[in-house]
Chains A and B, each alone.
Chain A
Amino acid sequence: RKEVEQDPGPFNVPEGATVAFNCTYSNSASQSFFWYRQDCRKEPKLLMSVYSSGNEDGRFTAQLNRASQYISLLIRDSKLSDSATYLCVVNSNSGYALNFGKGTSLLVTP
C-alpha cells in the first residue's frame, strides 16, 4: 500500500463551484499534514498545513480524520487561478521526511 494516495483526477469544474479532494495515508503515527499546490512546470508550494481541529484559509478548508486516516481539501467559489495540481503531504514512517502524494489535478473552466 502506498503511504499517501490521491485520486489523480482530473477534476474539471466551472468557476464558482465547490470542489473537494480527499487523500488517504497509511501510517497511523503520522503527525504532520500539509496541502501543497503545484502549477504546471513550477515547484510545489505550501498551500496550507492541516491541523487536527481542521482549519480554514479564505476559500480553502482542510480537515483531518485520524480515525479513518484521511485528509481533505475543500475549495469554495473556485477561480480560474485555482487550476493546478494539489499534493497531499504526510510525514513518513521515519518521522522525518515528508511523503508526497502524486497529486490531484484541478481544472477550473469559465
Chain B
Amino acid sequence: DAGVIQSPRHEVTEMGQEVTLRCKPISGHDYLFWYRQTMMRGLELLIYFNNNVPIDDSGMPEDRFSAKMPNASFSTLKIQPSEPRDSAVYFCASSLDVGAEQYFGPGTRLTVT
C-alpha cells in the first residue's frame, strides 16, 4: 500500500515567491495534518482537516500561509509570499480516527533564500 505522498521533496526559492506543497493521504484516512519541523521549535501542527473540512488552523503562523483540501485524496499548503524564516521541513500526515496514530509522508524540505 502506498503511504502518504508529498511533493516536491525539496524546494529552494527566493524570498517573496509563492510556494505550494502537495500531499496525498493514505486512502481511507479521514484526517489530514500539516506540520512544520525546525530544530528550534520541533514539530508544530499547522492545520488539520477532517473529511476535507479544516478543523483547527490555529497553528498557521500568519496570513501568508493557507491550506486547502479540495477532495479526499489531495491537499495543498501554500505560502505567499515566502520568507527566509519559513525554511523548515514540512510534513503531511494522515490518520483513520481522532487521536489515532498518524502516518507521515517523507516531508518537503523548504529553503527560502
Given the interface contacts A96-B56, A97-B48, A97-B56, does A44 sit within 8 Å of B43 by beta carbon? yes
Interface contact B42-A103, CB-CB below 8 Å? yes
Interface contact B106-A97, CB-CB below 8 Å? no
Interface contact B102-A98, CB-CB below 8 Å? yes
A residues 82-110 near B (Cβ < 8 Å) are 87, 91, 94-98, 100-103
Interface contact A43-B105, CB-CB below 8 Å? yes
Please report whether the interface of chain B is mostly helix, strand, loop or mixed according to DSSP: strand
Please report whether the interface of chain A is mostly helix, strand, loop or mixed according to DSSP: loop
Interface contact B91-A43, CB-CB below 8 Å? yes
A98 partner residues in chain B, CB cutoff 8 A: 45, 99, 102
A2-15: CB near B (< 8 Å → 1, else 0) gives: 00000000000000
CA distance A87 to B104 in the complex (A): 13
CA distance A98 to B43 in the complex (A): 11
Which of B55, B56, B99, B105 has the most chain A CB within a 10 Å cutoff?
A: B99
* Contact of B25 with A by CB under 8 A: no
Classify chain B's interface size: 10 to 19
Classify chain A's interface size: 20 to 34
CA distance A33 to B45 in the complex (A): 17
Q: Which of A43, A45, A97 meets B45, CB within 8 Å?
A: A97
Interface contact B55-A45, CB-CB below 8 Å? no
* Contact of A49 with B by CB under 8 A: yes
B-side residues, CB < 8 A to A, are 33, 42-43, 45, 48, 55-56, 91, 98-107
What would 12 more interface pairs be, CB under 8 Å, given A46-B103, A101-B42, A102-B43? A32-B99, A42-B107, A43-B105, A44-B43, A44-B104, A45-B104, A46-B102, A94-B56, A96-B99, A97-B56, A100-B42, A102-B42
- The 6 A-B pairs with the shortest beta carbon distances in the complex, nearest first, are A102-B42, A43-B104, A32-B99, A91-B99, A100-B43, A46-B101
